[in-house]
């Protein structure tokens, strides 16, 4: 029997196929018209794709497929233009999905169930899980790995709750076995750390171990293991590329650099086939470098990866391919509370200035609060291709956090620009926002920032250097349709001052409610909580690298000529923990993210170690003593004594071991130098009363003719001071 609606799932992409007869009945479209549309659509495809049963998507209307001897059409490619508006005559997407699931086969049931499970697992992800893996685990967990572990926990927790409440019917499944098979199929595709499942039996065993965890913390730690990031068998990425002048290790190795640059082919208009690039560019280059080449299959696989296509698509195909702006947006009621959603976007300001005798314009990356319309943060740069970078996105976010007094937002919405897809930016988003969304490709109107940017840019019309239709991306600017005189344009600094004037005017504008944007921003969402200090320092703090081995229990950093000192609490015990987490290296090289109140220490790989509070210093003279400095003197002196006691204990235990070793070996077999070393250990073991006791005990066992010179009171006081 031919079905009217067929739902197909291709990885993360879902397609709703509508039968030709269903379209004819619902839209009153003529079959002859559809026959012509099929021919036109097929003619837009390459010859190699025209014989497929399901034709690939080429962004044209009336995409079709042949299934079970009938013609089907992609719902997203049904045109919705005047005068017919075919798509409006159909049910909406949610209703079509519901109707399709009622008619689906067993295979489709499993696909729909996996889709529902994936959506349900997303509800379990929250900043608390991410924060635990990032800051509260003893292993080396960086931000990227923390996101993966949080997903593993979310799927396991979801499955545990479904089994406990017996809710598999809600996902369209008949029994527990179907639930395990559906979840195993979903996890087999994702291959998350800690949940690398191949079949339902493996998932049953994994869940049995997970259910044995009695606390939430044990559930989190269940997924942590030490086998993360092992790429020993990978050739691509193993041959480092080092700048001989600076010693800098490049982000991409030799193979990656050659593969990516060959595929992007930035400096040539014609884009060659991959086989041609492999033969003419890659193989000769690796031969000159003396590096063993990879196979064409591996070369092709690295260029076919979706993440690689996204990052290289702009350089290879241009902006029109990379950013399409044709999809409509979804109308929604205005937000009521500040902090419910932030939106981010980058755009030119259309403020032209004189750049070395040629016109150019400024580019601004902006962060808006949707409810109030307040411009929270911004970062200004020259307008050129690639001006929207990770650096400017992070700078704008840092300013936004300062404006909001340490509060983030419940949700953030961005476009699909490359800067927002950077791993570091995604990690920061995961810390600051409960939910992170991107607009659908080609649907820029979904982003509220587009409206704010357009309205704000209109403020530039008050200046004589407003560029109108002219848009200078670089020194190779487009046509100057406004016939501007370059010599009359302001300098870059003057244009920047104009931009700051626009920011001030925008934030102080009075709305129809009689309030400015700053005043509306004070009405914050009641469920929004301030961010944790560690998160704020990770995003907004100063970043530097220091060697703790040179700082004797403190963290010393310098900023603008001023030294800042932070105290490592329990230095005598934390030293071993830090050294262990750094891999027992000879030094203690750590990354420091700090502000005026505290400093957070991280491993060079980005794993959190501990937090150090700012050092409260003691007084040098009683004449300038305060209660705070007095308490600091007492605490720091006690800290010093605790460390000395730890050293004393170390030396005493080694001396005891040497004594045992002497008895085991016998007096005749002990080297004289060993006796002398033993006495020296006893002499230097401790000071004051403990030193006298240590010497007395050792002198009873070892004969030593040299007299021990005791220190004077002045020498002891001087030693205590330093």
Q: Using alpha carbons, select from 467, 491, 495 the residue that is nearest to residue 480.
A: 467
Q: Is residue 227 part of a domain?
A: no
Confidence of residue 566 (pLDDT cuts 50, 70, 90): very high
Same domain membership, residue 453 and residue 570: no
Mean pLDDT of the chain: 80
In this structure, what DSSP letter does residue 167 have?
A: -
Q: Is the pLDDT of residue 556 over 60?
A: yes
* Predicted TM-score (pTM) of this structure: 0.45
Confidence of residue 644 (pLDDT cuts 50, 70, 90): confident
Q: What is the CA radius of gyration of the chain?
A: 34
Same domain membership, residue 95 and residue 114: no
Q: Is the pLDDT of residue 412 over 80?
A: yes
User: Which pLDDT value is given to residue 698?
Assistant: 45
Q: What is the mean pLDDT of the segment spanning 426-431?
A: 88
Confidence of residue 103 (pLDDT cuts 50, 70, 90): low
Q: Using alpha carbons, select from 430, 407, 429, 428 the residue that is nearest to residue 338.
A: 407
Q: Which of 26-30, 316-320, 476-480, 658-662 has the lowest mean pLDDT?
A: 476-480
Instruction: Give the length of the chain.
Output: 722
DSSP 3-state of 129: helix
Answer for the pair 374, 444: CB distance below 8 angstroms, yes or no. Answer: no
Same domain membership, residue 582 and residue 450: no
Q: Is residue 356 part of a domain?
A: yes
Spell out the residues 6+ positions from residue 25 whose beta carbon is closer than 8 angstroms to its own: none
Answer for the pair 258, 241: CB distance below 8 angstroms, yes or no. Answer: no
User: Which pLDDT value is given to residue 178?
Assistant: 85
Same domain membership, residue 478 and residue 392: yes
Q: Is residue 536 part of a domain?
A: no
Q: Is residue 582 part of a domain?
A: yes
Q: Is residue 337 part of a domain?
A: no
Domain boundary among 558, 590, 614: 614
pLDDT more than 70, % of the chain: 82
Same domain membership, residue 309 and residue 418: no
Same domain membership, residue 717 and residue 586: no
Give the pLDDT confidence of 282-329 residue by residue, as tens digits: 899 989 988 888 889 988 888 887 667 777 777 777 666 665 432 333
Spell out the residues 6+ positions from residue 465 whose beta carbon is closer than 8 angstroms to its own: 351, 352, 353, 484, 489, 490, 495, 498
Read off the CATH number of the domain in which 378 is found. Answer: 3.30.420.10
Edge-to-edge strand list for the sheet holding 375-382: 375-382, 358-369, 342-355, 409-414, 433-438
DSSP 3-state of 490: coil
Q: Is residue 28 part of a domain?
A: yes
With 0-12 CB in 10 A as exposed, 13-18 as middle and 19+ as buried, what is 343?
buried
What number of CA atoms fall less than 13 Å from residue 643's CA on the CB side? 16
Domain boundary among 565, 586, 614: 614
Same domain membership, residue 204 and residue 55: no
Domain boundary among 57, 84, 104: 104
User: Which pLDDT value is given to residue 675?
Assistant: 52
> In angstroms, rounded to a whole number, what is the distance separating the alpha carbons of residues 568 and 609?
11
Same domain membership, residue 266 and residue 134: no
Q: Using alpha carbons, select from 427, 432, 431 the residue that is nearest to residue 407.
A: 432
Domain that holds residue 210: 107-221
User: Which pLDDT value is given to residue 692?
Assistant: 45
Long-range contacts of 571-578 (CB under 8 A, 24+ apart): 571/639, 571/643, 572/642, 572/643, 572/646, 573/646, 574/610, 577/609, 577/610, 578/548, 578/609, 578/610
Give the pLDDT confidence of 165-207 residue by residue, as tens digits: 888 878 877 788 888 988 888 888 888 888 888 888 889 988 8
Residue 707 region by backbone torsions, left for phi larger than 0, else alpha for psi between -120 and 50, else beta: beta
Q: Is the pLDDT of residue 357 over 90?
A: no
User: Which pLDDT value is given to residue 544?
Assistant: 92
Answer for the pair 236, 294: CB distance below 8 angstroms, yes or no. Answer: yes
Answer for the pair 406, 530: CB distance below 8 angstroms, yes or no. Answer: yes
Strand 342-355, strand 409-414: pairing: parallel
Q: What is the mean pLDDT of the segment spanning 128-141?
A: 78
Q: Is residue 234 part of a domain?
A: no
User: Which pLDDT value is given to residue 347?
Assistant: 84
Q: Which of 120-124, 384-388, 391-395 has the lowest mean pLDDT?
A: 384-388
Same domain membership, residue 264 and residue 155: no
Q: Is the pLDDT of residue 551 over 70?
A: yes
DSSP 3-state of 574: helix
Q: Is the pLDDT of residue 140 over 70?
A: no
> In angstroms, rounded to a whole number, what is the distance separating the alpha carbons of residues 408 and 398?
11
Same domain membership, residue 126 and residue 266: no
Q: Is the pLDDT of residue 593 over 90?
A: yes
Q: What is the mean pLDDT of the segment spanning 75-87?
A: 88
Q: Is residue 158 part of a domain?
A: yes
Q: Using alpha carbons, select from 505, 451, 455 the residue that is nearest to residue 331.
A: 451
Rounded to the nearest 10 degrees, the angle between the axes of helix 423-432 and helix 143-165 is 50
- Tokens standing for 394? 């992070």
How would you label 219-230 residue by residue, b for 16+ Cβ within 10 Å and e otherwise?
A: bbbbbbeeebee
Confidence of residue 374 (pLDDT cuts 50, 70, 90): very high
Same domain membership, residue 483 and residue 554: no
Kindly state the helix (H) or strand (E) to which residue 682 belongs, with its residue range. helix 672-683
For residue 444, report the phi and psi dihedrals to the nearest 5 degrees.
-70, -25
Answer for the pair 502, 564: CB distance below 8 angstroms, yes or no. Answer: no
When divided into structural domains, the chain yields a total of 6
Read off the CATH number of the domain in which 553 is found. Answer: 2.30.30
Same domain membership, residue 584 and residue 499: no
């Amino acid at each position: 029997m031919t079905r009217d609606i067929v739902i197909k799932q291709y990885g993360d992409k879902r397609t709703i196929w509508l039968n030709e007869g269903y379209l004819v009945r619902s839209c009153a479209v003529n079959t002859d018209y559809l026959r012509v549309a099929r021919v036109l659509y097929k003619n837009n495809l390459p010859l190699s794709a025209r014989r497929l049963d399901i034709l690939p998507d080429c962004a044209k209307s009336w995409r079709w497929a042949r299934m079970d001897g009938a013609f089907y059409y992609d719902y997203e490619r049904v045109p919705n233009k005047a005068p017919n508006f075919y798509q409006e005559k159909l049910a909406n997407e949610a209703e079509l999905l519901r109707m399709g699931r009622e008619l689906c086969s067993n295979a489709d049931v499993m696909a729909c169930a996996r889709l529902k499970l994936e959506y349900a697992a997303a509800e379990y992800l929250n900043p608390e899980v991410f924060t635990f893996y990032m800051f509260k685990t003893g292993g080396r967990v960086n931000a990227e790995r923390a996101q993966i572990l949080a997903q593993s926990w979310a799927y396991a927790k979801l499955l545990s709750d479904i089994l406990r409440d017996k809710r598999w019917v809600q996902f369209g499944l008949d029994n527990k076995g179907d639930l395990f098979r559906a979840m195993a199929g979903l996890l087999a595709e994702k291959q998350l750390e800690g949940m690398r499942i191949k079949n339902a039996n493996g998932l049953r065993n994994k869940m049995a171990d997970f259910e044995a965890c009695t606390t939430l913390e044990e559930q989190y730690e269940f997924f942590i293991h030490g086998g993360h990031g092992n790429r020993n068998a990978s050739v691509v990425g193993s041959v480092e590329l080092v700048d001989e002048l600076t010693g800098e290790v490049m982000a991409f190795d030799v193979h990656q650099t050659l593969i990516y640059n060959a595929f992007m082919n930035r400096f040539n208009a014609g884009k060659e086939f991959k086989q041609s690039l492999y033969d003419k560019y890659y193989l000769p280059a690796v031969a000159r470098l003396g590096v063993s080449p990879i196979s064409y299959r591996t070369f092709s696989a690295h260029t076919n990866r979706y993440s690689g296509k996204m990052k290289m698509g702009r350089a290879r195909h241009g902006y029109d391919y990379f950013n399409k702006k044709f999809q409509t947006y979804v109308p929604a009621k205005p937000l009521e509370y500040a902090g419910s959603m932030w939106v981010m976007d980058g755009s030119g300001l259309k403020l032209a200035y004189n750049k070395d005798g040629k016109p150019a314009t400024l580019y601004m990356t902006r962060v808006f609060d949707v409810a109030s319309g307040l411009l929270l943060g911004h970062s200004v740069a020259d307008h050129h291709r690639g001006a929207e970078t990770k650096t400017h996105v992070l700078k704008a976010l840092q300013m936004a956090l300062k404006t909001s007094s340490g509060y983030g937002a419940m949700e953030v919405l961005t476009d699909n620009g490359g800067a927002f897809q950077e791993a570091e930016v995604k990690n920061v988003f995961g810390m600051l926002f409960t939910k992170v969304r991107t607009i659908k490709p080609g649907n820029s109107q979904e982003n509220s920032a587009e409206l704010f940017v357009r309205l704000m840019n209109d403020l530039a019309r008050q200046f004589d250097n407003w560029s109108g239709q002219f848009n200078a991306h670089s020194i190779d600017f487009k046509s100057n349709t406004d016939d501007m005189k370059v010599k009359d344009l302001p300098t870059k600094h003057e244009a920047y001052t104009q931009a700051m004037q626009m920011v001030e005017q925008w934030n102080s504008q009075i709305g129809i409610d009689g309030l400015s944007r700053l005043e509306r921003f004070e009405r914050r969402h009641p469920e929004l909580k301030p961010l944790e200090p560690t998160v704020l320092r990770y995003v907004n703090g100063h970043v530097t690298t220091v060697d703790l081995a040179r700082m004797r229990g403190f963290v010393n950093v310098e900023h603008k000529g001023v030294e800042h000192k932070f105290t490592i609490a329990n230095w005598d015990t934390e030293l071993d923990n830090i050294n262990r987490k750094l891999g027992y290296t000879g030094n203690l090289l750590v990354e420091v993210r700090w502000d005026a109140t505290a400093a957070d220490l991280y491993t060079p790989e980005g794993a959190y170690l501990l937090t150090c509070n700012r050092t409260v210093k003691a007084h040098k003279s009683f004449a300038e003593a305060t209660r705070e400095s007095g308490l600091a003197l007492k605490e720091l002196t006690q800290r010093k004594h605790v460390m000395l006691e730890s050293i004393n204990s170390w030396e005493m235990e080694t001396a005891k071991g040497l004594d045992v070793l002497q008895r085991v070996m016998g007096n005749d077999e002990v080297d004289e130098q060993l006796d002398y070393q033993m006495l020296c250990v006893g002499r230097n073991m401790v000071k004051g009363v403990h030193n006298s006791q240590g010497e007395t005990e050792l002198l009873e066992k070892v004969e030593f003719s040299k007299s021990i010179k005791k220190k004077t009171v002045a020498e002891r006081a001087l030693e205590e001071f330093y």
